[in-house]
Protein backbone atom coordinates (compact mmCIF):
# COMPACT_ATOMS: atom_id res chain seq x y z
CA UNK A 1 0.00 0.00 0.00
CA UNK A 2 1.29 3.47 -0.87
CA UNK A 3 0.29 6.80 0.67
CA UNK A 4 1.13 10.38 -0.31
CA UNK A 5 2.37 13.18 1.91
CA UNK A 6 2.53 11.09 5.08
CA UNK A 7 4.32 12.26 8.23
CA UNK A 8 7.24 10.12 9.37
CA UNK A 9 7.11 11.04 13.07
CA UNK A 10 5.78 7.59 13.97
CA UNK A 11 8.34 5.90 11.74
CA UNK A 12 11.50 7.14 13.48
CA UNK A 13 12.34 6.63 17.15
CA UNK A 14 13.67 10.19 17.41
CA UNK A 15 10.03 11.22 16.72
CA UNK A 16 11.15 14.05 14.43
CA UNK A 17 8.00 15.61 13.02
CA UNK A 18 8.75 15.75 9.31
CA UNK A 19 7.34 14.20 6.14
CA UNK A 20 8.12 12.02 3.17
CA UNK A 21 6.59 12.50 -0.25
CA UNK A 22 5.40 8.89 -0.22
CA UNK A 23 5.46 5.90 2.11
CA UNK A 24 5.13 2.30 0.99
CA UNK A 25 5.30 -1.07 2.75
CA UNK A 26 6.91 -4.21 1.31
CA UNK A 27 5.95 -7.62 2.70
CA UNK A 28 7.93 -9.72 0.23
CA UNK A 29 10.64 -9.48 -2.43
CA UNK A 30 8.21 -8.88 -5.29
CA UNK A 31 6.49 -5.99 -3.52
CA UNK A 32 9.86 -4.47 -2.68
CA UNK A 33 10.94 -4.63 -6.33
CA UNK A 34 7.66 -3.17 -7.57
CA UNK A 35 7.79 -0.23 -5.16
CA UNK A 36 11.43 0.42 -5.95
CA UNK A 37 10.92 0.38 -9.71
CA UNK A 38 7.85 2.61 -9.46
CA UNK A 39 9.79 5.20 -7.48
CA UNK A 40 12.66 5.06 -9.95
CA UNK A 41 10.29 5.69 -12.86
CA UNK A 42 9.20 8.87 -11.08
CA UNK A 43 12.87 9.77 -10.47
CA UNK A 44 12.27 9.72 -6.73
CA UNK A 45 14.86 9.13 -4.05
CA UNK A 46 14.28 5.94 -2.04
CA UNK A 47 14.90 5.31 1.63
CA UNK A 48 14.62 1.74 2.90
CA UNK A 49 13.57 1.85 6.55
CA UNK A 50 13.10 -0.77 9.24
CA UNK A 51 11.99 0.71 12.55
CA UNK A 52 13.74 4.04 12.03
CA UNK A 53 15.72 3.44 15.21
CA UNK A 54 19.06 4.66 13.90
CA UNK A 55 18.15 7.63 11.69
CA UNK A 56 17.81 11.37 12.15
CA UNK A 57 15.65 13.23 9.65
CA UNK A 58 17.21 16.66 9.17
CA UNK A 59 14.83 17.73 6.38
CA UNK A 60 11.57 16.75 4.70
CA UNK A 61 12.31 13.69 2.57
CA UNK A 62 11.37 14.31 -1.07
CA UNK A 63 11.20 10.66 -2.09
CA UNK A 64 9.60 7.35 -1.13
CA UNK A 65 10.17 5.73 2.24
CA UNK A 66 9.95 1.95 1.89
CA UNK A 67 9.15 0.06 5.08
CA UNK A 68 10.74 -3.38 4.99
CA UNK A 69 8.31 -5.86 6.54
CA UNK A 70 9.62 -9.06 4.98
CA UNK A 71 9.08 -11.50 7.84
CA UNK A 72 9.66 -15.16 8.63
CA UNK A 73 12.02 -17.25 10.76
CA UNK A 74 13.20 -20.67 9.56
CA UNK A 75 15.33 -22.87 11.82
CA UNK A 76 17.60 -25.70 10.70
CA UNK A 77 19.61 -27.77 13.18
CA UNK A 78 22.75 -29.89 13.02
CA UNK A 79 25.04 -31.41 15.64
CA UNK A 80 27.00 -28.24 16.27
CA UNK A 81 24.54 -25.37 15.85
CA UNK A 82 21.16 -23.93 15.00
CA UNK A 83 20.95 -22.10 11.69
CA UNK A 84 18.34 -19.33 11.51
CA UNK A 85 17.16 -17.76 8.26
CA UNK A 86 15.39 -14.55 9.29
CA UNK A 87 13.42 -12.10 7.20
CA UNK A 88 14.81 -8.57 7.24
CA UNK A 89 11.52 -7.14 8.50
CA UNK A 90 11.48 -9.13 11.73
CA UNK A 91 11.81 -7.14 14.97
CA UNK A 92 15.30 -7.72 16.40
CA UNK A 93 14.36 -8.02 20.08
CA UNK A 94 11.49 -10.35 19.22
CA UNK A 95 14.03 -12.54 17.43
CA UNK A 96 16.22 -12.60 20.56
CA UNK A 97 13.19 -13.69 22.59
CA UNK A 98 12.20 -16.27 19.95
CA UNK A 99 15.63 -17.91 20.16
CA UNK A 100 15.80 -17.79 23.96
CA UNK A 101 12.33 -19.32 24.40
CA UNK A 102 13.36 -22.21 22.15
CA UNK A 103 16.59 -22.73 24.11
CA UNK A 104 18.84 -21.48 21.31
CA UNK A 105 21.26 -19.19 23.16
CA UNK A 106 23.75 -16.75 21.66
CA UNK A 107 21.74 -13.56 21.14
CA UNK A 108 20.95 -12.66 24.75
CA UNK A 109 23.65 -9.94 25.01
CA UNK A 110 21.90 -8.16 22.13
CA UNK A 111 18.51 -7.97 23.87
CA UNK A 112 16.42 -4.79 23.69
CA UNK A 113 18.36 -3.31 20.78
CA UNK A 114 15.66 -1.53 18.78
CA UNK A 115 15.26 -2.04 15.07
CA UNK A 116 14.66 -4.72 12.47
CA UNK A 117 16.86 -7.68 11.57
CA UNK A 118 17.82 -6.21 8.19
CA UNK A 119 19.48 -3.24 9.86
CA UNK A 120 21.62 -5.38 12.16
CA UNK A 121 24.39 -6.28 9.68
CA UNK A 122 24.53 -2.76 8.23
CA UNK A 123 25.58 -1.33 11.59
CA UNK A 124 27.12 -4.57 12.84
CA UNK A 125 25.08 -3.87 15.95
CA UNK A 126 26.66 -4.81 19.22
CA UNK A 127 26.31 -4.60 22.99
CA UNK A 128 27.97 -5.98 26.09
CA UNK A 129 30.77 -7.78 24.28
CA UNK A 130 28.82 -9.33 21.39
CA UNK A 131 28.40 -8.07 17.82
CA UNK A 132 26.26 -9.38 14.98
CA UNK A 133 29.40 -10.50 13.17
CA UNK A 134 29.95 -13.15 15.88
CA UNK A 135 26.66 -14.87 15.00
CA UNK A 136 26.18 -13.96 11.33
CA UNK A 137 26.47 -16.75 8.75
CA UNK A 138 25.31 -14.85 5.64
CA UNK A 139 23.26 -11.92 4.40
CA UNK A 140 20.83 -12.06 1.46
CA UNK A 141 20.25 -8.91 -0.54
CA UNK A 142 18.69 -7.90 -3.82
CA UNK A 143 20.27 -5.78 -6.52
CA UNK A 144 17.34 -3.47 -7.15
CA UNK A 145 18.60 -2.58 -10.62
CA UNK A 146 17.94 -6.08 -11.99
CA UNK A 147 16.21 -8.09 -9.23
CA UNK A 148 19.17 -10.43 -8.80
CA UNK A 149 19.51 -11.95 -5.33
CA UNK A 150 23.00 -12.04 -3.81
CA UNK A 151 24.19 -14.00 -0.79
CA UNK A 152 27.24 -12.66 1.04
CA UNK A 153 29.13 -14.82 3.52
CA UNK A 154 30.13 -13.42 6.89
CA UNK A 155 33.63 -12.65 5.63
CA UNK A 156 32.28 -10.94 2.52
CA UNK A 157 30.27 -8.58 4.73
CA UNK A 158 33.54 -6.96 5.88
CA UNK A 159 32.27 -6.28 9.35
CA UNK A 160 33.99 -3.61 11.41
CA UNK A 161 33.08 -1.54 14.44
CA UNK A 162 29.56 -0.26 13.57
CA UNK A 163 30.55 -0.78 9.96
CA UNK A 164 30.09 -3.21 7.08
CA UNK A 165 30.20 -3.46 3.30
CA UNK A 166 26.51 -2.43 3.33
CA UNK A 167 27.57 1.10 4.22
CA UNK A 168 29.88 1.23 1.23
CA UNK A 169 29.76 -0.94 -1.90
CA UNK A 170 26.21 -2.19 -1.25
CA UNK A 171 24.77 1.05 0.16
CA UNK A 172 22.86 2.31 -2.87
CA UNK A 173 20.37 0.32 -4.98
CA UNK A 174 20.65 -2.80 -2.81
CA UNK A 175 18.20 -4.07 -0.22
CA UNK A 176 18.81 -6.65 2.51
CA UNK A 177 15.94 -9.15 2.54
CA UNK A 178 17.18 -11.84 4.97
CA UNK A 179 19.95 -12.60 7.43
CA UNK A 180 21.40 -16.01 8.27
CA UNK A 181 22.50 -16.54 11.86
CA UNK A 182 24.40 -19.44 13.40
CA UNK A 183 24.04 -20.15 17.12
CA UNK A 184 26.55 -22.66 18.46
CA UNK A 185 25.32 -25.40 20.79
CA UNK A 186 28.45 -25.19 22.93
CA UNK A 187 27.24 -21.89 24.41
CA UNK A 188 29.84 -19.74 26.09
CA UNK A 189 28.53 -16.78 28.10
CA UNK A 190 30.03 -13.36 27.43
CA UNK A 191 30.24 -11.65 30.81
CA UNK A 192 32.83 -8.94 30.29
CA UNK A 193 30.70 -5.81 30.71
CA UNK A 194 28.77 -4.08 33.48
CA UNK A 195 26.63 -6.13 35.82
CA UNK A 196 27.32 -9.23 33.74
CA UNK A 197 30.69 -9.43 35.50
CA UNK A 198 28.87 -10.35 38.73
CA UNK A 199 27.37 -13.51 37.25
CA UNK A 200 28.96 -16.91 37.92
CA UNK A 201 30.39 -18.24 34.67
CA UNK A 202 30.05 -21.83 35.88
CA UNK A 203 26.33 -21.67 36.69
CA UNK A 204 24.94 -18.76 34.68
CA UNK A 205 22.08 -19.42 32.26
CA UNK A 206 21.22 -17.62 29.01
CA UNK A 207 18.03 -16.35 30.70
CA UNK A 208 20.07 -14.75 33.49
CA UNK A 209 22.27 -13.01 30.92
CA UNK A 210 19.18 -11.82 29.06
CA UNK A 211 17.53 -10.50 32.22
CA UNK A 212 20.70 -8.70 33.31
CA UNK A 213 21.15 -7.07 29.90
CA UNK A 214 17.52 -5.94 29.84
CA UNK A 215 17.86 -4.50 33.33
CA UNK A 216 21.01 -2.56 32.43
CA UNK A 217 19.52 -1.16 29.25
CA UNK A 218 16.25 -0.14 30.91
CA UNK A 219 18.15 1.54 33.73
CA UNK A 220 20.43 3.59 31.48
CA UNK A 221 18.55 4.16 28.26
CA UNK A 222 15.27 6.06 27.75
CA UNK A 223 12.32 4.23 26.22
CA UNK A 224 11.84 5.69 22.70
CA UNK A 225 8.10 5.14 23.07
CA UNK A 226 8.19 7.77 25.81
CA UNK A 227 11.22 9.95 24.98
CA UNK A 228 12.35 10.22 21.38
CA UNK A 229 15.92 8.99 20.86
CA UNK A 230 18.04 6.75 18.66
CA UNK A 231 20.06 5.07 21.39
CA UNK A 232 23.80 5.68 21.28
CA UNK A 233 24.25 8.76 19.14
CA UNK A 234 28.05 8.59 18.78
CA UNK A 235 30.42 5.72 18.14
CA UNK A 236 32.98 4.86 20.78
CA UNK A 237 36.13 6.43 19.29
CA UNK A 238 39.16 4.29 18.47
CA UNK A 239 42.28 6.44 18.83
CA UNK A 240 46.03 6.15 18.57
CA UNK A 241 47.99 4.96 21.59
CA UNK A 242 49.54 8.42 22.01
CA UNK A 243 46.18 10.17 22.35
CA UNK A 244 44.93 7.50 24.74
CA UNK A 245 48.11 7.72 26.82
CA UNK A 246 47.68 11.47 27.21
CA UNK A 247 44.08 11.06 28.35
CA UNK A 248 44.98 8.27 30.78
CA UNK A 249 47.82 10.34 32.21
CA UNK A 250 45.32 12.92 33.39
CA UNK A 251 42.36 10.54 33.85
CA UNK A 252 43.69 7.09 34.83
CA UNK A 253 40.13 5.94 35.58
CA UNK A 254 38.97 6.52 31.99
CA UNK A 255 37.43 3.38 30.43
CA UNK A 256 39.66 2.11 27.65
CA UNK A 257 39.87 -1.06 25.60
CA UNK A 258 43.06 -2.06 23.70
CA UNK A 259 42.44 -3.19 20.12
CA UNK A 260 44.29 -5.80 18.08
CA UNK A 261 45.90 -3.12 15.88
CA UNK A 262 47.48 -1.31 18.83
CA UNK A 263 44.89 1.45 18.98
CA UNK A 264 42.65 2.09 21.96
CA UNK A 265 38.85 2.26 22.07
CA UNK A 266 37.49 4.91 24.42
CA UNK A 267 34.00 5.27 25.88
CA UNK A 268 32.23 8.15 24.13
CA UNK A 269 29.70 8.43 26.95
CA UNK A 270 32.48 8.92 29.51
CA UNK A 271 34.16 11.60 27.38
CA UNK A 272 30.88 13.49 27.04
CA UNK A 273 30.14 13.12 30.75
CA UNK A 274 33.54 14.61 31.62
CA UNK A 275 32.46 17.73 29.73
CA UNK A 276 29.55 18.07 32.19
CA UNK A 277 27.01 17.84 29.40
CA UNK A 278 24.40 15.55 30.96
CA UNK A 279 21.13 17.43 30.83
CA UNK A 280 22.53 20.10 28.49
CA UNK A 281 19.79 21.44 26.21
CA UNK A 282 19.49 23.09 22.84
CA UNK A 283 16.00 23.96 21.65
CA UNK A 284 13.87 20.86 22.06
CA UNK A 285 16.88 18.52 22.26
CA UNK A 286 18.95 17.46 25.26
CA UNK A 287 21.75 15.19 26.41
CA UNK A 288 20.12 12.46 28.46
CA UNK A 289 20.55 12.95 32.20
CA UNK A 290 21.48 9.31 32.88
CA UNK A 291 23.46 8.37 29.77
CA UNK A 292 25.52 11.09 28.10
CA UNK A 293 25.85 9.05 24.92
CA UNK A 294 22.13 9.44 24.22
CA UNK A 295 20.59 12.59 22.74
CA UNK A 296 16.86 12.95 23.29
CA UNK A 297 13.88 14.74 21.80
CA UNK A 298 12.15 16.43 24.72
CA UNK A 299 8.92 16.65 22.79
CA UNK A 300 9.21 19.15 19.99
CA UNK A 301 12.80 18.91 18.79
CA UNK A 302 13.55 19.45 15.13
CA UNK A 303 16.31 17.78 13.18
CA UNK A 304 18.18 21.09 13.37
CA UNK A 305 17.94 21.03 17.18
CA UNK A 306 19.49 17.58 17.35
CA UNK A 307 22.22 18.57 14.88
CA UNK A 308 23.11 21.72 16.81
CA UNK A 309 23.25 19.78 20.08
CA UNK A 310 25.38 17.03 18.54
CA UNK A 311 27.74 19.63 17.09
CA UNK A 312 28.18 21.24 20.50
CA UNK A 313 28.85 17.88 22.14
CA UNK A 314 31.36 16.95 19.45
CA UNK A 315 33.23 20.24 19.69
CA UNK A 316 33.27 20.15 23.50
CA UNK A 317 34.86 16.67 23.54
CA UNK A 318 37.39 17.69 20.88
CA UNK A 319 38.42 20.80 22.78
CA UNK A 320 38.97 18.89 26.00
CA UNK A 321 40.35 15.58 24.79
CA UNK A 322 41.51 16.12 21.18
CA UNK A 323 39.09 13.38 20.13
CA UNK A 324 36.51 13.95 17.40
CA UNK A 325 33.41 11.84 17.89
CA UNK A 326 31.59 10.41 14.87
CA UNK A 327 27.83 9.82 14.80
CA UNK A 328 26.54 6.27 14.84
CA UNK A 329 23.14 7.58 13.73
CA UNK A 330 22.46 8.00 10.00
CA UNK A 331 21.48 11.51 8.88
CA UNK A 332 18.68 11.68 6.30
CA UNK A 333 18.38 14.80 4.16
CA UNK A 334 15.86 15.78 1.49
CA UNK A 335 17.31 13.37 -1.08
CA UNK A 336 18.53 10.59 1.19
CA UNK A 337 21.43 9.82 3.50
CA UNK A 338 24.09 12.50 3.88
CA UNK A 339 27.55 12.55 5.46
CA UNK A 340 26.83 12.98 9.17
CA UNK A 341 30.37 14.08 10.03
CA UNK A 342 30.20 16.67 7.26
CA UNK A 343 26.92 18.02 8.65
CA UNK A 344 28.45 18.42 12.11
CA UNK A 345 31.74 19.92 10.94
Supply the residues annotated as catalytic: 162, 232, 328
Angle between helix 206-220 and 92-101 (nearest 10)? 150
Query: Is 225 strand, coil or helix?
Result: coil
CA gap 99, 332 in Å, rounded: 33
CA–CA separation, 218 and 202 (whole Å): 26
Do 124 and 159 form a contact (C-beta atoms < 8 A)? yes
Contact 40, 20 (CB under 8 A): no
**Distance (Å, rounded) from C-alpha 70 to C-alpha 122?**
17
How far, in Å, CA of 177 to CA of 121, rounded?
A: 11
CA-to-CA separations, 64 to 8, 223, 329, 336, in angstroms, rounded:
11, 28, 20, 10
Amino acid sequence: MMMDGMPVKQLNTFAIDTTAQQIATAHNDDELMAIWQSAKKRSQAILLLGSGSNVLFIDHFTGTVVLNRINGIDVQEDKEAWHLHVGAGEDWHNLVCFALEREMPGLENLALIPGRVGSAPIQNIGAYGVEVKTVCEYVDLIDMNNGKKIRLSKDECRFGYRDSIFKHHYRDSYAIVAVGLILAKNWQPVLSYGDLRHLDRETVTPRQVFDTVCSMRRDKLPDPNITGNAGSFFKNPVVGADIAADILLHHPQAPHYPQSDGRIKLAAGWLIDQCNLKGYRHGGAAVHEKQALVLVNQGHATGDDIVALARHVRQSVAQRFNVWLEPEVRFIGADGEVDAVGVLS
